[in-house]
Structure 1
């Protein structure tokens, strides 16, 4: 099969790799119809992780079942399915409590709970930016989709970014009528804004500096805040008569930077502590890592980020963090798509064959105008 392979910082290539096979009775093999480039793939692409050379990338996957193991009874050959980026066993303590993003059995990496396809430190699993993908524990992990091709560009968001955006609002404790501040208008931030509006937010401020992303936020009903025009906290405070937001979502992560491009990993956390009212909630779904050799200072290189914890404490705020347990939300979000209540495909800017993936990575990494979300179709 053809697959996209990591070869070093800013270098990915499409190569021939052996087709995946059923290795355990609980496995399935999926023919990939759509796989997406995710913003968190760029951490690996830029050399900011310990991902090994030769890794097949891609954790946002959907397709059609080609083969199943003898123990697979719910999923059948020919089923159209969404593949959550979490690889979960379904029976460990965390899975049993709905925390499939922290499965205790699927990742042999020391000190890491939770596994994923094609990602650094998330286990030995190939990704799905390829023609085929092996899925462990298929009966538990795979989500049925209606047959055919309808809603393809919406359903492809169910593997990660739509549930992750929704998870950000859940971690923040958003309630109907809340004013929400979303920092980051990349795909996850836009999905958080879309989720907040579906859930009945009064106002959703979306903070970024890229004009195309801010225009997209405004198109779905968000209120764009360009931090290149001035302090985003002050802009939101002015717009709310000094009250601030009821809750906020961090959708940027450890590579947060100021308008000049200098990195400050604590920047968005500090802004959210300042702009969210006392007793409000903050949901952090932007990626942070235990070690970051490329960080601007020694403490951040060790994963130690100095942020306004004292103010956070004194304001009585609460914070939820961590990767999204996709299965907690994906069935409901699928049904919102089918009912026409959710349309996550609004952020798709490009649909390309797998052969053009290396070029697409470069455009997406540079934040080139108009490259907001790239879908890859390995079949053509």
Structure 2
């Protein structure tokens, strides 16, 4: 099969790779019809995540058609059109039984915190991802779900990570009726978090970014006020002024560690495999939220040796809530919102790129060229 393959930081290409096979009776092989490039994929692309091995195929957002099933698979059949959550999870451990699918205890021998994630380095289990013509899907009876007949492929693709993660970010903010919510980052997750904040009762939503096309989409798609942090002297002071000098009730960090990184971060991450960026956005959140407020962290962070203002968070009496999104737990409510017309997640898709041109697609997305906000890869085109 053809698959995106990692060779070194900034060096990826499409290669011929062995088609995945059934390795366990509960596996399925899915023929990928669409995959997306996620902002967190750029941490891998730039060499900022530890243990990203040569030959790995990225991609944790994908949908497709079941091509083969293992002998114990009961809930899927060949030909089913499926959406696959980015979490790899067993469905039966202590954490899965409580809906904490992102913290599954049985799928990642390399970490005690996060469970498995498709195509996201060996720190999350070493599973190949969906930026390929075919992908192996473990625990096929508990992860993938048949796409409802009324849902189109583009909306289903956004439900594999970006939409549920943004929704989960707003959910973790524990938003009360009428509260002021600030979202740091107007990428896909930030846009969905801002949109979801309204569904949870927010009285005011402010989105912070520095790219004009993202800020415009935050205004039109998420109906939010916007702040260009490059056009204000101090973004924290500016946000305080906008909120009666108190700070926001809830701040959602949808940025995480900077995917580009500075020189020191590149040396310690790409060379020494130590860290995944610096916590500038997280410190902005700590400073910009009111005393007694809540911070929700959705941005991707690797191991860091950078300073976080934890003392300030403690002294302000803040509640910090965070996790990788347990995607499948969010689906029932999100499906309702999509079917009822409250959400149309495919509206943020800006580019469709043949899988063959994946290197150009990553460059386009990484350099934020041509207004690229959410690119979709299409095998066979």
Q: Which residue of 2 aligns with 1:31?
A: 31
Q: Does 2:50 correspond to 1:47? A: no
The DSSP-based 3-state class of the residue aligned with 2:141 is helix
Equivalence for 1:199: 200
Deviations 1:290-318 (A, max 9, x none): 2xxxxxxxxxxxx2332222221122110
Shift of residue 67, structure 1, vs aligned partner = 1.5
Counterpart contact for 1:88–1:106, Cα < 8 Å: yes
The 1:253–1:342 alpha-carbon spacing in structure 2 relative to 1, beyond 3 Å, is same
Give the one of 244, 249, 254 matched to 2:247: 244
* Of 122, 125, 142, the match for 1:123: 125
Q: How does 1:1-380 map to 2 (within 5 A)?
A: 1-49=1-49, 50-120=51-121, 121-147=123-149, 150-220=151-221, 221-230=223-232, 231-255=234-258, 265-290=278-303, 303-380=304-381
**Contact 1:256/1:266, CA 8 A, preserved across alignment:** no
Q: Using structure 1 for the length normalisation, give the TM-score.
A: 0.91
Q: CA deviation at 1:6?
A: 0.5
Per-residue displacement from partner, 1:53-90 (whole Å, max 9, x unpaired)?
A: 00011110111111211211112222211100100001
Give the count of matched residue pairs: 366
Contact 2:169 2:298 in 1 (8 A): yes
Measured in 2, the distance between the counterparts of 1:274 and 1:327 equals 33
Map Cα deviations across residues 115-167 of structure 1 (whole Å, 9 max, x no partner): 1111111113111001111111111011221248x522111011111111111
8 Å Cα contact 2:178/2:203 also seen in 1: yes
Q: Indicate the SS of the match to 1:141.
A: coil
Whether the aligned pair in 2 keeps the contact of 1:112 and 1:122 (CA below 8 Å) is no
Structure 1 runs not aligned, ≥5 long: 291-302
Q: Distance in 2 between matches of 1:192 and 1:339?
A: 18
> What RMSD in Å do the two structures reach over aligned CA positions?
2.0
Deviations 1:162-186 (A, max 9, x none): 1111111122212332210000111
Could you tell me how far 1:327 is from its partner in structure 2? 1.4
TM-score (norm 2): 0.91
